[in-house]
Amino acid sequence: MKDFVVILGSSSISSPPTPTNLHHHHRHRSSTKKTNSSFRKLSPSRKQCHPVSPSIPTVHSHQHPYPLLSSTARWNHASLRDSPLKYYADLASKLAEDGRLEDFSMTVEMVVASGVNASRFASMLSVELVSKGIASSVQEGKVKSVVQVLRKVEKLGVAPLKLVNESGLDSLKRGFQRILGSGEVEEAVDLLEALRDFQFTIKELVNPSYIVKICVDKRNPNLAIRYSCLLPHAHMLFCSIICEFGKKRDLASALTAYEASKKNLSGPNMYLYRAIIDTCGLCGDYMKSRNIYKDLVNQRVTPNIYVFNSLMNVNAHDLGYTLDLYKDMQNLGITADMASYNILLKACCLAHRVDLAQDIYNEVKDLESTEVLKLDVFTYCTIIKIFADARLWQMALKIKEDMLSAGVTPNTVTWSSLINACAHAGLVVQAFQLFEEMILSGCEPNSQCCNVLLHACVEASQYDRAFRLFRSWTGSQEGNIDSMLSTKQVNSISSVSTTSNYITTLHNPSSVKKFSFNPTTATYNILMKACGTDYYHAKALMNEMKSFGLSPNHVSWTILIDICGGSGNVEGAIQILKTMHVTGIKPDVVAYTTAIKVCVESKRLKLAFSLFEEMKRYSVQPNLVTYNTLLRARSKYGSLHEVQQCLAVYQEMRKAGYKSNDIYLKELIEEWCEGVINENNQKQEGLSSCKRTDLERPHSLLLEKIALHLQMSTAESPAVDLRGLTK
């Protein structure tokens, strides 16, 4: 046996004939004593170094009779005797197994450079060992190294796909989980792109939604799109990416993903358009959805019914625009479905257009009679809510009968709207009857429905009933449930029992209906309103709210300010306003307006105006109620300075864009004029007459104020009623 010495990387090995002569070695195994043109034979006994192939550096042999790469290398010496090519295949496999992928690629390069067929050599490699080494390197985070090596062997003609078996793929999956778990998502995408180029099925390596979620959490839309483009169902992933950014209320990233997605699509994608429009709605930017629609029209893309429905839904607050979209849809020959009509009803509800809603409802009923459409529970719920908001409780109940006749079962929203309709009309007894009917039908009330019932009691000034109802639901106190029901209901009920967090209604021993009740912040806000001027009771309710894990909101604090002020404790009300700042809740315009009202009603006008200035310092914009509250103060004071302050408030209200009120202006001018006259009379008391110029002063200033108002007014008829001012 002849020994030859080669250099591999920085490690020396003793090897059989160099790869440049491997094909001759196999053909002329019997003539191995002949000198090869690229080698010189090395006699083991002489221990002498001979020149080798020009492409292989000259090195010295070792005393080991067989090749050795390192002290930790493990070789199959039998393979050297069987075949030098097999030996190199074993050598490369073991290098890969040990994680020495660069040495592995150099060995492959050396063998292929000698003229050995790459596919033949690849078939002799141990896929199990190579696959194990690749997976281990990925798990160790050597992603770039793995990619470089695989690209190198691919260029040499060895398909990377043939170097990884099923076990290796499982190990790769675990490696990806480690990489993604450490947040190295970009490295993972780099590797996936390389594996895709190597014909790997990357979809099975990692859950697509998992990578998308990480990209969204990192606010990296471009990386998410890069990954999606690797998969055959990329167009669906584009939609998922946009929707996920929408859930994060990150419209900018969603739009970036949308623009990148369009570049990677061969044609219009309605799923994509609908996803970005819905995201605009989630993020509250309806104008952007309109711009997207304009772009589609300019590109001569015809949206389908689902895109139109999303557009109408996002813009439902604008009835005019929604109806324009509906007309566009009709002009394009797109037939409206039930969702389209439901959205139109929703737009009518938001615009308080009962008449138009009735027309749409009747139109849909006609279509149902011809079996073109089938009304669903959402349709009935929406039209019932429209009538409920308009206090048309009888029409709402009529819709319920239509609903039952059509075989549609009312849901919790339906019952809540019906109860709300009666509550708004002040029909507390009817509201309780509907509540009882709801429970008997097997529909479990939610907190919102219960809150509507409590609110009905409070609005009807049935405060004790509201508290008994609440305590019976929470089980915190034994309540007399009979007092909540009408006489007719009491007679029809066999017994009523309450347990913790449940109310149980028994109409017969074999039928038990119960529902869980979890109070909300809104529940306690309603109860606080029932406290009247009992500040300590309201404060106790706020503390009880916290025991349920609830936090008081702006409404809670505002109610507390009103109750405290109503009890005559103005300083306490102002202190509550300050406490809101301390607790991290910035008082809103309602809170400030309530505090100002407390001051006005207590004749603390100076304090009221100081709060007015304070709210503006905190960038809280006064609303019409704020201005009116201050302007109404002028009827409670005769001070010229105070009236002048109110005149300034009136002018500020006009500048803010609120409609002028000539009645306020007239009365303010009257009081201003009277205040000037009174001041002059006090100064000149005891005099029988005065100079003419002094007498003319109030009238000239009065005319000046009126002229200023007329000059600043933008109304069509900026007239001021001067009758009664001649005095």
Residue 81 pLDDT class (50, 70, 90 cuts): very low
Mean pLDDT of 395-403: 91
More confident residue, 313 or 38: 313
pLDDT at 113: 81
Judge whether residue 82 has pLDDT over 90: no
Judge whether residue 487 has pLDDT over 70: no
User: Interior CA angle at 186 toward 182 and 189, to 5°?
Assistant: 110
pLDDT at 72: 42
pLDDT tens readout for residues 322-363: 999 999 999 999 999 999 999 999 999 999 999 999 999 999
53 DSSP assignment: -
Query: Is the CB of residue 649 less than 8 Å from the CB of residue 630?
Result: yes
pLDDT tens readout for residues 213-256: 888 888 888 888 888 888 877 788 888 899 999 999 999 999 99
Residue 83 pLDDT class (50, 70, 90 cuts): confident
pLDDT at 477: 43
Judge whether residue 567 has pLDDT over 60: yes
Helix and strand numbers (H, E) in the chain are 36, 5
Q: Where are the domains of the chain?
A: 82-206, 553-633, 638-681+720-726
Judge whether residue 626 has pLDDT over 60: yes
pLDDT tens readout for residues 94-104: 888 888 888 88
| Residue whose tokens read 């040495």 | 103
Mean pLDDT of the chain: 75
Judge whether residue 580 has pLDDT over 80: yes
3-state secondary structure of 406: coil
More confident residue, 620 or 636: 620
More confident residue, 486 or 594: 594
pLDDT at 44: 37
Judge whether residue 22 has pLDDT over 60: no
Judge whether residue 499 has pLDDT over 70: no
Q: How many CB atoms lie within 10 A of CB 337?
A: 14
pLDDT at 677: 55
In this predicted structure, which of 45-54, 137-146, 172-181, 701-710 has the lowest mean pLDDT?
45-54
Rounded CA separation 139/60 (Å): 37
Judge whether residue 616 has pLDDT over 50: yes
Which is it for the CA torsion 300, 306, 308, 313, positive or negative?
A: negative
In this predicted structure, which of 4-18, 275-289, 436-450, 561-575 has the lowest mean pLDDT?
4-18
pLDDT tens readout for residues 148-172: 777 777 776 777 777 776 766 777 7
pLDDT tens readout for residues 111-146: 888 887 877 777 788 778 887 787 777 777 677 777
More confident residue, 215 or 75: 215
Residue 80 C-alpha from the chain's centroid: 65
Partners of 536 in the beta sheet? none
3-state secondary structure of 497: strand
